[in-house]
Amino acid sequence: MTPFEAELKRALARREPSEDFSARVLARTQEKKVGQTIAFRLPGRLLTWALAAALLLALGGGVAYQRHERAVRGQTAKRQLLLAMQIAGSKLHYARQQVMQVEGMEIE
Amino acid sequence: MAAILTSRATAEERTSIPSFASAVETHKAMVYSIAWHFLRDRPLAEELAQDVFLELHRHWKSMKSAEHILFWLRRTAVNRAIDRVRNRKIRAETSLEEISEPTVLEQIHDTYLSAYLERMVASLPEKQRAAIVLRYQEDMEPEEIAGLLKMNVSTVKTQVARGLELLRSKTAHRLRGEGKLG
């Protein structure tokens, strides 16, 4: 090591922080622990319950919605079937009348 | 059997770990000094050093040995200091070129030379400063610095050599006057 490097080493020697440095670090770790306890335990439980309730609501809502959708689709299909039957009936009636008219004319 | 040996070794390693409070006490000067050489502001350096120890506290369970703690602290302190300097745009109050070269006639005491060198180190580029601080504050070998800064050994050697050259050229007049130039 050259004299210059020795001088530099002396200049860069470690220096101490303030006396209460360690105490402040430890105090901050305790604050953090307390903070974590409050942040994770109490609201953690509340959060779990809230999530569970939300999940149940979502599931229940989903099932109810599916049932409602199925009922609506059933009603629509029923209406369409009745309409189709009505149309088919009226067409049949019209055709029957036409046939009868033709037959009547032939007899005369 | 191998598993038993491994678990035993791990347990032995764990027992060699000091308590967190003891680690703070042992390494506070090292972490604070690294922060100081980058920030040159006592409250800022203390705040950064505290943040480093709080981060250590968060990672405490992953610490494997006393050496691991020392390595982790050095690396984290240097990285956080570089980040802080870059993010907050904290530059040395004066650049290396702006610092006047003391002459022989000034007859400055050694304390002032140390302060002068410290100021000049603080004005070096971040990576160069990190290499110089780790080399001369922490007495680390270039290989160790390379591992810590994730650089090639040759790059570390170059950084240290360039840093030294810059510092030496600035103090040349004075050291020559005192017959200390190496």
Question: Which pLDDT band, with edges at 50, 70 and 90, does A32 fall under?
Answer: low
- pLDDT the model gives residue B82: 92
- Residue identified by tokens 């007899």 is A107
- pLDDT the model gives residue A41: 58
What share of chain A in percent tops pLDDT 70? 86
Give the minimum alpha-carbon distance from B51 to chain A in angstroms, rounded to a whole number: 8
Asked if B63 contacts B19 with a C-beta cutoff of 8 angstroms, the reply is no
Average pLDDT of chain B?
81
Distances B173 to B35, B83, B115, B178 between C-alpha atoms, Å: 29, 34, 16, 9
Q: Is the pLDDT of residue A45 over 90?
A: no
Give the N- to C-terminal CA distance of chain A in Å, as an integer: 138
- Dihedral sign for Cα A14, A15, A17, A23, please: positive
- Give the number of other Cβ atoms within 10 Å of residue B178's Cβ: 16
Q: Nearest CA to B80 among B132, B32, B135, B128?
A: B32
Q: Is the pLDDT of residue B3 over 80?
A: no
- Residue identified by tokens 């190496």 is B182
- In this structure, of B135-139, B151-155, B166-170, the range with the lowest mean pLDDT score is B166-170
CB contact (8 A) between residue A4 and residue B168 = yes
CB contact (8 A) between residue B180 and residue A12 = no
CB contact (8 A) between residue A15 and residue B29 = yes
Ranges A3-17, A27-41, A49-63, B24-38, most confident: B24-38
**pTM assigned to the model:** 0.62
B62-103 residue pLDDT tens: 999 999 999 999 999 999 999 998 886 655 444 555 454 544
For A26, the closest of B24, B45, B171 (CB atoms) is B24
Q: Is the pLDDT of residue B154 over 80?
A: yes
Tally the residues of chain A.
108
- Give the number of other Cβ atoms within 10 Å of residue A46's Cβ: 10
Q: Region A32-45: what's the mean pLDDT?
A: 61
What share of chain B in percent tops pLDDT 90? 57
CB contact (8 A) between residue A32 and residue B57 = yes
Give the minimum alpha-carbon distance from B94 to chain A in angstroms, rounded to a whole number: 18
Give the minimum alpha-carbon distance from B71 to chain A in angstroms, rounded to a whole number: 16
What is the C-alpha to C-alpha distance for residues B138 and B51, in angstroms, rounded to an integer? Answer: 20
Q: Is the pLDDT of residue A50 over 90?
A: no
Question: Which pLDDT band, with edges at 50, 70 and 90, does B5 fall under?
Answer: very low
The SS3 assignment for B125 reads coil
Torsion of CA A93, A98, A100, A106, to 10 degrees: -170
Give the N- to C-terminal CA distance of chain B in Å, as an integer: 57
Question: Which pLDDT band, with edges at 50, 70 and 90, does A40 fall under?
Answer: low
CB contact (8 A) between residue A11 and residue B132 = no
